Structure 1
Amino acid sequence: MAASYWKQVQEHGLAVPEDRPLDDLTAELTRMLGSPDPDDRDGIAYPLLSTWVARGVYDDLLIGLGDGMAAGLRVGIGERDTDTVFRRSFSALVLAECIARDNQCALVPGDKILQWGDRLATWLLAERDLRGFVPGKGWAHAIAHGADAISMLAESPYVAGPELTTVLLDVIADRLLLPVDELLVAGETDRLALATMNILRRDLVPLTVLEPWIARLTAHAGAATYDDRTPNLAGQNTETFLRALYLQLSLAGRPPAVRADLLLVLVDALRTVNPHYLRLE
């Protein structure tokens, strides 16, 4: 449809048009999620789909919509610097909205939520396009959107056991520890830290699990790159994440039960990584 059609939808309060079947509208908006034009993707497709999910338009169709978004996570996976990243990244955002709706209204079976979680984790660890903002095409932001989806998943009542919340923490750590050719500079580490906070707020993961998890990240944060690339390329993303997690944990208005003890662990970790700046003297 012409952009003017969707502009009219926006002007009418994002109400679902009555002149076309919802299936057709959804199919077109899903295609637009992968558009390199930010007006189509960020300006029309995502706002409409997320609003309709939140308003309950898809309540009877939520499984089908979520499955469609999960399929979108595989489009062009493994590619770098191509336009397929937009479909993957924005599919993750809409899938997060589906999970958020189920968190409110319990519309989807638990095994389906866990299946979506597995698809999200698999995609996030396989994603190789780390671009944040793409000039002329807007936000790609795959890692940030993946973090947002993990945040919603962490709030699901079906992610209720310590083993499941620990898996989510491991996904975040594994993503940070993957080799990269560029640093994350568009707030991705802050979003990963926020996802971690949502996991911690479930109060299901004990400090005995968190301490080795932080130690694993700390060891990586102190690594250096010994080649012609940026020397801090190996560990900077992880160090930036640890700083973001410390800040969010310190200032959180709704802190997890482990905050006091975990802050001490993070202080030790940051001192280890920054011995020249954070000496005890």
Structure 2
Amino acid sequence: MTLLSAVETAVEPETPPRNRPSAARRVVPYGYLSPTLILIVVLMVVPIVMVIGYSFRDNVIVQENSVFAGLANYSKVLTDPDFLVAIKNTAVFITVSMVAHLALGLAFAMMLNTRLLGGVTKALFRLVYILPWLFTIAVIAVIWRLLVDPAGVLNYVLQTLGLIQEGVDWLGDPSKALWVVTFANIWSGYPFFMISLLAGLQGIPHDLYEAAAVDGANPVQRFLHVTLPQLRPVIISMAVLDLIWTSQQFALIWMMTGGGPLNATEMLSTYTYKQAFSEYEFATASAAAVIVLLLTMVLAFFYVRQQRER
């Protein structure tokens, strides 16, 4: 009896087989996701497919019977001098804005993270620095149009200081309009970078700075070898996002200059809009939109890849 009891104890009891979820239970998660999926399909997938289809046809929307044009619309867009100017202006606009956003955002974030300022002073500076982010694009465009008007505040200050003799038409001068619009975009966008980088700075362990100081590193070396490496994931993510967002900037440019004067501030977004709703060349506008979509997808690919590596 003792041996038989030992054998029965050694044998593990069989676990009951798990019941496989029924077909109805497997469908339940998709039921919860269905409203979002339907919205994505209706509001994103269908319009994108329609625009791609329009880009390969001629006389779309304005005529009932459109004809297949192949790559003619793409060839027309890529050889259009206005489109080439828009690409150059967009490249300058994006590059200067991104570099300035990161530089200003990091500088202000480090100032707000320093221990040299008191709590009240930091709170006041945070309120002032975050104000541009609270305004809508329409308000920002109106503010800057009033500031740079020939009879505006900027010219008044410069004349008072004796730097200019008469009012300058900042948005009417082709050599200055692009830089004014870029500066307005920088002013409206740097608070987001400041907040993100400030959060990154506050997440750096203070022990790293103490260890670097013990090793004899000066403030510049601590910034280069401690701060920047720790902020590298945040900086890369913000830079890629800024490339995507700035390349699609439309409202600020349209409300300030409308792409003028003389195409000085023409961007890919304003070029596409004009082709569709000013020239009524919807096929050409669709081709330009597809090109912008491809460029944005390339940037989005690098962003997703960076996030996966992180």
TM-score (ref. length: structure 1)? 0.29
RCO comparison, higher one (Cα < 8 Å, 6+): 2
TM-score (ref. length: structure 2)? 0.27
Which structure features the higher share of helix residues?
2
